[in-house]
């Protein structure tokens, strides 16, 4: 089932170059964290569009335009491969958009869908995601393209990103929201649930305690596995000498730093720079 990257890279990049990654905010740190677990020597260039978060409430065409700007920025930073650490960007970028990118690009949706189908026993899969990702139907389409009989139940969880972006990972309000959002999945008897937004694994404890016996799929794990396999097969892994990472955000704020520290286990301030790429007033 594995066919990444999503595009045809144009030339063989230099293995010592960094891996590019982006999200609307801190959610992509779940992919960043996973990459460092699997490939600790790979330098990362990360972009978080924190000035425009949440993407999940926006017009898909505007998100697509913003995601294309971020891809161009990462290419300027000379990355050798790109992991789209944002489900909604992964859902709205088209094959044509990705064909313009000269380095290999990896997305979350394909990998998450494939992993869920491998895990499910009853072919009933749940997807928790932002309203925009649910609206694109990207997970439903991709899962059904592999198995037309699979039953996919989606649930939009608009409160989850604001919780994580403000440093709230548990408590009564979170519990209440989790119960509300997973009710339709329980009703359908899903045995597997995909984190369809990279912010959601930050709420893992709060979510999984209400989903006893259900397999959770984190596409961050799958995308990193595919990226690692690709770099390995193509002899593109970085040598043992570690370069440092660079983290860009459109609005650097205390919460961005503290969440990074919590999930990446380090103070990212010395690696960080504020760069605004996408104007909020921009029209699609
Ligand atoms: N983390 C992003 C995703 O995976 C979206 C968060 C947002 O709404 O900005 O889709």
List pLDDT tens digits, range 139-198.
999 999 999 999 999 999 999 999 998 889 999 999 999 999 999 999 999 999 999 999
CA distances from 58 to 66, 97, 146 (A): 11, 19, 29
Q: Determine the distance separating the centroid of ligand 1 and the alpha carbon of 279, expressed in angstroms.
A: 18
The residue-averaged pLDDT of 104-131 equals: 97
User: Tokens standing for 192?
Assistant: 């597997």
1: pLDDT strictly greater than 60: no
Is the pLDDT confidence value at 44 over 70? yes
Identical fold for domains 19-107+221-274 and 109-219, yes or no, is yes
pTM: 0.94
> pLDDT category, 283, cuts 50, 70, 90?
very low
**Assigned token pair, 42:** 């790979």
Residue nearest to atom 2 of ligand 1 (CA): 86
Q: Which atom of ligand 1 is nearest to the CA of 197?
A: 4
Query: Which atom of ligand 1 approaches the CA of 89 most closely?
Result: 10
197 is an active site residue = yes
157 catalytic per annotation: no
Please say if the pLDDT value at position 240 is more than 80: no
Residue 205 CA to residue 241 CA, distance in Å, equals 35
| From 45, 67, 82, 86, the catalytic residue | 86
Please give the pLDDT value at position 280: 76
- 29 alpha carbon to ligand 1 midpoint, in Å? 12
Task: Indicate the domain borders of the chain.
Answer: 19-107+221-274, 109-219
Pocket test for ligand 1, best of 66, 130, 156 (most atoms within 8 A of CB): 130
Q: Give distance in angstroms: CA of 62 to centre of ligand 1.
A: 14
**Ligand 1 probe mutation, 66, 88, 157, most atoms within 8 A of CB:** 88
More confident residue, 239 or 145: 145
Q: Which atom of ligand 1 is nearest to the CA of 24?
A: 9
Question: Which residue in 152, 197, 203, 224 is the catalytic one?
Answer: 197
Per-residue confidence (pLDDT) for residue 2, from 0 to 100: 46
Structure tokens at 221: 């794990």
Average pLDDT value over all residues in the chain: 93
CATH class of 109-219: alpha beta
Counting ligand 1 atoms within 8 A of each CB, the residue from 25, 57, 164 with the most, and so the one to mutate, is: 25
Q: What is the pLDDT of residue 194?
A: 98
CATH (one of 3.40.50.1860, 2.60.40.1150, 3.40.50.620, 3.40.190.10) for 19-107+221-274: 3.40.50.1860
Strands (E), the chain: 19-23, 44-48, 81-84, 105-106, 124-129, 151-156, 192-195, 215-217, 246-249, 272-274
Overall average pLDDT of the 53-76 stretch: 95
Whether 15 shows a pLDDT value over 80: the answer reads yes
Please say whether the beta carbons of 261 and 267 come within 8 A: yes
Confidence (pLDDT) at 11: 78
- How far does residue 90's CA lie from ligand 1's centre (Å)? 10
* Residues contacting ligand 1 via CB (< 6 Å): 23-25, 27, 53-56, 86-88, 130, 133, 161, 197-199
Which pLDDT does position 161 carry in this prediction? 94
Asked if residue 14 has pLDDT above 50, the reply is yes
Q: Give the bridge partners for 81, in sequence order.
A: 19
- pLDDT (mean) for 118-122: 98
Which residue puts its alpha carbon closest to atom 8 of ligand 1? 56
Once rounded to an integer, what is the mean pLDDT over residues 214-243? 92
- What pLDDT shows up at residue 4? 64
> What tens digit of pLDDT does each residue of 262-273 get?
888 899 999 999
Only one residue has tokens 């592999």, namely 146
Residue 31 has pLDDT above 90, yes or no: yes
């Amino acid at each position: 089932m594995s066919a990444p990257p999503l595009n045809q890279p144009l030339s063989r990049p230099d293995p010592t170059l960094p891996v590019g990654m982006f999200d609307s905010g801190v959610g992509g740190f779940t992919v960043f964290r996973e990459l460092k677990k699997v490939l600790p020597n790979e330098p990362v260039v990360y972009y978080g569009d924190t000035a425009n978060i949440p993407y999940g409430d926006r017009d898909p065409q505007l998100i697509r335009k913003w995601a294309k700007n971020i891809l161009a920025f990462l290419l300027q930073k000379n990355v050798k491969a790109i992991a789209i650490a944002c489900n909604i960007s992964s859902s709205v970028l088209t094959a044509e958009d990705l064909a313009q990118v000269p380095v290999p690009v990896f997305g979350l949706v394909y990998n998450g869908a494939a992993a869920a189908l491998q895990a499910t026993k009853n072919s009933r899969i749940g997807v928790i995601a932002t309203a925009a990702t649910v609206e694109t139907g990207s997970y439903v389409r991709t899962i059904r393209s592999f198995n037309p009989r699979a039953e996919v139940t989606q649930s939009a969880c608009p409160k989850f990103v604001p919780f994580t972006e403000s440093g709230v990972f548990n408590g009564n309000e979170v519990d209440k929201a989790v119960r509300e959002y997973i009710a339709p999945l329980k009703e359908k008897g899903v045995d597997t649930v995909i984190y369809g937004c990279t912010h959601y694994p930050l709420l893992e404890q709060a979510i999984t305690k209400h989903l006893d016996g259900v397999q959770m799929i984190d596409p961050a794990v799958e995308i990193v596995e595919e990226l690692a396999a690709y770099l390995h097969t193509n002899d593109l892994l970085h040598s043992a000498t570690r370069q440092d990472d660079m983290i860009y955000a459109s609005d650097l704020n205390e919460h961005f730093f503290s969440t990074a520290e919590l999930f990446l286990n380090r103070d990212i301030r010395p690696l960080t720079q504020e760069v605004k790429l996408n104007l909020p007033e921009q029209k699609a």
